[in-house]
């Protein structure tokens, strides 16, 4: 039987079924590096304030580093009796150092310890996510440059709406990722105050220096209210929401590209190495990676939801329910990290088929709205201009024509008698239509070129 840290109060050993039911080592072992990092900062502070000797501190730090190396190598035995990673590391320390090891937990509870480790883990995770988002932004920018002359049909309601430059399309996702990165940065900022030193719930009567620990661990401040600390998981919820938005963005993009890779669209070519086939239909080539990016967003939404339900109604300070906080967080980070990686791979390797897009780009009256705006510029009220162009489109339908530009002059003369036909024809066709845009943020070629330049510069800088 392994002695429990709370053994003094107990006469009987813990029931095996209770140990199995209450353990968290099977998943919180992932926190080992952060637990060691926080313990080193803690014991150094204990030495600074005289609660442990400097020599004792050195022994403890050395042993913690050894333990960390053993866990990294896979040489460290995890056992059910030592509930969690915190108890494992402390027990290993005591095995090595005896009474000196028994000093590490001075002025500390697993409640503030677990909150600290978890914050450190999430902070590292957020940094990895930010790097993944930045890499994806770069991939979108490269794709924008690669397709800088291509015009795509823009859709609303999945119906052809107005023409857009392909670069404008790719930069739309760069913007979404920029907001995602903003949410990650906000979350990181608010997360970055130190729980350690709150002890169980009320703080400690021992003369600790929390600011010193905060500095060592890279926290900007110390959490102000010890009672708040051990129940606070806001940072995890915020991180999960940031991850959920990333997953939602990726899912929408993946859906679009699944459609684009169909025969019906034919816009997208994916290399064989990034697709899979069918075990029964020999001709199939499926965009499974995109489908799974779309599908995995469900897990991330689920993680956020289950976390919110977990903490709903918990009273102040630590409650054991909180042990369940790690699984959804670990899963969401892993899922989003891998989705970001694969999204980057797909964006870099996919080609938009200029030929296929071009074949039918003049269909669907994408230039109708620019034609209406041309009429407005000459003084026609918007509602009348809308009606006039609507009549031109109806005339095309009646005559079996797929493009406004194919309408005979007589139709234009009848519908818009006050205008020179050449003026009207000047905005017809998708190239003319795109060229007519001018508002800030629009698909106008000069706007898009400026945005592309701006993003290239921003993403080159290592700090942004």
Which residues, 6+ apart, have CB-to-CB distance to 137 below 8 Å?
174, 177, 178, 455, 459
Which residues, 6+ apart, have CB-to-CB distance to 61 below 8 Å?
40, 43, 44
Sign of CA dihedral 325, 328, 332, 334: positive
State in angstroms the smallest separation of the CB of 26 from ligand ARG.
11
For ligand ARG, which stretch binds (CB under 6 A), given 7-15, 63-71, 109-117, 415-423? 109-117
- Cα Rg of the chain, angstroms: 31
- Does the footprint of ligand ARG cover residue 323 (CB under 6 A)? yes
Write the binding mask 261 to 300 for ligand ARG: x where contact by CB under 6 A, - elsewhere. Answer: ----------------------------------------
State in angstroms the smallest separation of the CB of 27 from ligand ARG.
9
- Does the footprint of ligand ARG cover residue 60 (CB under 6 A)? no
Give whichever of 32 and 318 is closer to ligand ARG, judged by the CB atom.
318
Q: 401 to each of 33, 371, 393, how far by Cα in Å?
A: 68, 17, 9
Give whichever of 114 and 340 is closer to ligand ARG, judged by the CB atom.
114
State in angstroms the smallest separation of the CB of 117 from ligand ARG.
9
For ligand ARG, which stretch binds (CB under 6 A), given 89-97, 110-118, 171-179, 294-302? 110-118
Sign of CA dihedral 450, 453, 458, 459: positive
Which residue matches tokens 């684009």?
260
Q: How many whole angstroms separate alpha carbon 369 and alpha carbon 1?
A: 79
State in angstroms the smallest separation of the CB of 443 from ligand ARG.
51
Q: How many whole angstroms separate alpha carbon 207 and alpha carbon 105?
A: 14
- Does the footprint of ligand ARG cover residue 318 (CB under 6 A)? yes
State in angstroms the smallest separation of the CB of 105 from ligand ARG.
12
State in angstroms the smallest separation of the CB of 195 from ligand ARG.
12
Quote the tokens at residue 252.
């929408």
- Does the footprint of ligand ARG cover residue 251 (CB under 6 A)? no
For ligand ARG, which stretch binds (CB under 6 A), given 184-192, 204-212, 317-325, 331-339? 317-325
- Does the footprint of ligand ARG cover residue 330 (CB under 6 A)? no
Comparing C-alpha atoms, which of 437, 444, 456 is closest to residue 174? 456
Q: Where are the alpha helices (DSSP H) in 5-109?
A: 16-22, 25-28, 32-48, 54-73, 85-97
- Does the footprint of ligand ARG cover residue 105 (CB under 6 A)? no
Write the binding mask 114 to 133 for ligand ARG: x where contact by CB under 6 A, - elsewhere. Answer: x-------------------
Which residues, 6+ apart, have CB-to-CB distance to 332 below 8 Å?
239, 240, 243, 244, 247, 299, 300, 303, 304
Write the binding mask 72 to 91 for ligand ARG: x where contact by CB under 6 A, - elsewhere. Answer: -----------xx-------
Q: 170 to each of 138, 176, 190, 224, 240, how far by Cα in Å?
A: 10, 10, 31, 44, 26
Size of the site for ligand ARG (CB under 6 A): 10
Catalytic residues: 157, 278
- Does the footprint of ligand ARG cover residue 28 (CB under 6 A)? yes
- Does the footprint of ligand ARG cover residue 307 (CB under 6 A)? no
- Does the footprint of ligand ARG cover residue 111 (CB under 6 A)? yes
* Strand pairing category for 193-194 and 221-222: parallel
Give whichever of 111 and 162 is closer to ligand ARG, judged by the CB atom.
111
Quote the tokens at residue 135.
């890499």
- Does the footprint of ligand ARG cover residue 191 (CB under 6 A)? no
- Does the footprint of ligand ARG cover residue 322 (CB under 6 A)? yes
Buried-exposed string 322-342: b where 16+ CB fall within 10 A, e elsewhere: bbebbbbbbbbbebbbebbeb
State in angstroms the smallest separation of the CB of 231 from ligand ARG.
11
Give the binding site for ligand ARG (CB under 6 A).
24, 28, 83-84, 110-111, 114, 318, 322-323
């Amino acid at each position: 039987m392994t002695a429990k840290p709370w053994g003094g109060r107990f006469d009987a050993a813990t029931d095996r079924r209770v140990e199995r039911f209450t353990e968290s080592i099977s998943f919180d072992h992932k926190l080992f590096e952060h637990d060691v990092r926080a313990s080193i900062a803690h014991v150094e502070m204990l030495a600074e304030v005289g609660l442990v000797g400097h020599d004792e501190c050195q022994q403890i730090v050395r042993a913690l580093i050894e333990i960390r190396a053993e866990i990294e190598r896979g040489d460290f035995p995890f056992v059910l009796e030592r509930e969690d990673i915190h108890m494992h590391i402390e027990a290993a320390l005591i095995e090595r150092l005896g009474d000196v090891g028994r000093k590490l937990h001075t002025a500390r509870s697993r409640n503030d310890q677990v909150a600290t480790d978890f914050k450190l883990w999430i902070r590292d995770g957020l940094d990895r996510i930010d790097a993944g988002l930045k890499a994806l932004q770069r991939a979108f920018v490269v794709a924008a440059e690669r397709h800088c002359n291509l015009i795509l049909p823009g859709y609303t309601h999945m119906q052809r709406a107005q023409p857009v430059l392909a670069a404008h399309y790719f930069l739309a996702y760069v913007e979404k990722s920029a907001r995602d990165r903003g949410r990650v940065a906000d979350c990181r900022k608010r997360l970055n105050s130190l729980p350690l030193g709150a002890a169980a719930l009320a703080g400690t009567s021992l003369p600790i220096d929390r600011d010193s620990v905060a500095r060592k661990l890279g926290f900007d401040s110390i959490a102000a209210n010890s009672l708040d600390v051990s129940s606070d998981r806001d940072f995890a919820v915020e991180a999960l929401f940031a991850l959920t938005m990333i997953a939602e963005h990726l899912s929408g993009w993946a859906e679009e590209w699944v459609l684009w890779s169909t025969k019906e669209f034919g816009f997208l070519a994916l290399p064989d190495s990034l697709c899979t086939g069918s075990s029964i239909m020999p001709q199939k080539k499926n965009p499974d990676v995109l489908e799974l990016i779309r599908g995995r967003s469900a897990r991330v939404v689920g993680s956020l939801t289950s976390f919110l339900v977990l903490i709903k109604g918990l009273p102040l300070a630590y409650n054991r329910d909180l042990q369940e906080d790690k699984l959804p967080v670990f899963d969401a980070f892993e899922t989003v990290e891998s989705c970001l990686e694969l999204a980057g791979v797909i964006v870099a390797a996919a080609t938009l088929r200029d030929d296929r897009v071009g074949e039918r780009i003049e269909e669907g009256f994408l230039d109708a709205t620019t034609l209406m705006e041309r009429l407005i510029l000459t003084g026609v009220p918007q509602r009348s201009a809308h009606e006039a162009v609507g009549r031109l489109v109806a005339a095309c339908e009646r005559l079996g024509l797929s493009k406004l530009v194919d309408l005979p002059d007589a139709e234009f003369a009848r519908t818009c008698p006050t205008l020179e036909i050449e003026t009207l024809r000047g905005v017809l066709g998708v190239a003319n239509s795109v060229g007519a845009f001018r508002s800030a943020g629009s698909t106008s070629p000069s706007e898009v070129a400026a945005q592309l330049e701006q993003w290239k510069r921003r993403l080159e800088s290592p700090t942004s």
